[in-house]
Amino acid sequence: MLLTEDHRLIRDAVRDYVRDHVAPHAAHWDRHDTFPREALAGLAALGCYGVAVPERWGGAGLDYVSLALVIEEIAAGDGGTSTIVSVNNCPVCSILLAWGSEAQKARWLTPLASGAMLGAFCLTEPQVGSDASALRTTARLDGDHWVLDGVKQFITSGANGDVAIVMAVTDREAGKRGISAFLVPTNSPGYRVAHIEKKLGQHSSDTAQIALEGCRVPAENLIGEPGQGYRIALSGLEGGRIGIASQSVGMARAAFEAALRYAHEREAFGSAIFNHQAVQFRLADMATGLEAARQLILHAAALKDAGKPCLKEAAMAKLFASETAEKICSDAIQIHGGYGYVNDFPVERIYRDVRVCQIYEGTSDIQRILIGRALAE
């Protein structure tokens, strides 16, 4: 896909910022579980929090191709930081843009898209992952407030976010049609961070278990109508999968570039290891997989920008990009040899960071199911 001048401008602006303000700190954030607050503020100032949100609602007014490019660039500097930004864009901002009332857009979307606030998305529960229709969190109407009770699991920015979109059951008998979506400020009484997960990677991004214990939110914080929550949740997944696929490519690109540099610098048998055909073949496969994954993502994003269905294409992009990225990062470690296994070099961190891309926003198996269903139609 050929990029427009606007695409190149936003890509290059984010690339320059990440090079100076994200990548140099990624190892420190990883080792000390540091939330990258200052770096995020700079990314917000560049318009990265609401890339595809119209300017009237605080966003950059760009498109999903731009969003894919932005997330790739951030991920090339730090995987965890890109997760924070990706979730804020999709599904948080995308859901509010598509389903929020004018009042909700003014109150919540504008600060989320501009970076004045940070959003979280609360769908997954301790016993509910891929089967989003089996939620146990409930919401009941009590006068002019909804009261939410339940537990949400693996919530990105659950501890550091300002507001969460929470999916809860309002009518147990209605199945999928009994789920509703709510805006829940994280400072609401009854919203409690029960646990911060210790993870394999992405240590700069908090992943929290959230307990909702009689959490009261105003009735106007219901997004859409009662019973629309399942549709609302699914509507944010296409863009979310494009974002996760873009993360995968960004991290894989960083690992590939590190391996390419190392191959030129490291000497063995009297020559740089790059000159050995076995290493060149490995790098060639890495470069090919990287470009193929990127083009799948840009194709899915272009379809979404054109208003065309892209469920299958987004699933393909996430599946291929996430699995290819792990292979690229593994190969980058292999090229580094023993140095790839220690934390003096970035490739071991990137490998740890990229592994989760095959899990969140729908596992690889879920993507295959979605693709298979599309092929059966």
Tokens representing 206 are 């908090």
pLDDT > 90: what percent of the chain? 97
The CATH fold of domain 5-118 = Butyryl-Coa Dehydrogenase, subunit A; domain 1 (1.10.540)
Q: How far apart are CA 302 and CA 317, in angstroms?
A: 12
Residue 216: the pLDDT is: 98
- Measured in residues, the chain has a length of 377
pLDDT, tens digit, 9 for 90 and up, residues 206-253: 999 999 999 999 999 999 999 999 999 999 889 999 999 999 999 999
Within the chain, all domains assigned CATH 1.20.140.10 are found at: 233-376
Residue 67 pLDDT exceeds 90: yes
Residue 56: phi and psi, rounded to 5, are -65, -20
Q: How confident is the model at residue 1 (pLDDT cuts 50, 70, 90)?
A: confident
What is the arithmetic mean of pLDDT over 309-313?
A: 96
**Active-site residue, 361 included:** yes
Pairwise pLDDT comparison (89 vs 129), residue with the higher score = 89
- Among residues 5, 125, 361, 377, the one annotated as catalytic is 361
Q: What is the DSSP letter of 128?
A: B
Domain with CATH 2.40.110.10 in the chain: 120-226
Domain with CATH 1.10.540.10 in the chain: 5-118
Q: Is the peptide bond before 91 cis (omega within 30 degrees of 0)?
A: yes
Average pLDDT over residues 184-195: 98
- Check residue 125 and give its pLDDT: 97
* CA–CA gap between residue 233 and residue 231 (Å, rounded): 5
pLDDT of residue 133: 79
Q: What is the pLDDT of residue 372?
A: 98
Q: What is the pLDDT of residue 131?
A: 80
CATH class, 233-376 region: mainly alpha
pLDDT for the residue numbered 357 = 99
Mean pLDDT over each residue of the chain, to the nearest integer = 98
Number of neighbours of residue 262 by Cβ within 10 angstroms: 21
- The Cα–Cα gap between 339 and 348 comes to 9
DSSP H or E stretch at residue 267: strand 267-268
pLDDT at 130: 76
Give, in order, the Cα–Cα distances in Å from 316 to each of 118, 234, 296, 337, 371: 29, 16, 7, 32, 7
Q: Following CA atoms 171, 172, 175, 177 in sequence, which dihedral angle do they give, to the nearest 10 degrees? A: 10
pLDDT tens readout for residues 146-163: 999 999 999 999 999 999
pLDDT band at 373 (very low <50, low <70, confident <90, very high): very high
pLDDT at residue 228, as a whole number: 98
Percent of the chain with pLDDT over 70: 100
Q: Tell if the pTM clears 0.95, that is, is over it.
A: yes
- Model confidence at 336, pLDDT cuts 50, 70, 90, reads very high
Q: What is the pLDDT of residue 377?
A: 87
**What are the φ/ψ torsions at residue 98 (nearest 5 degrees)?**
-85, -35
Task: Name the class of domain 120-226.
Answer: mainly beta
pLDDT above 90 (res 128)? no
* Distance (Å, whole) CA 199 – CA 13: 31
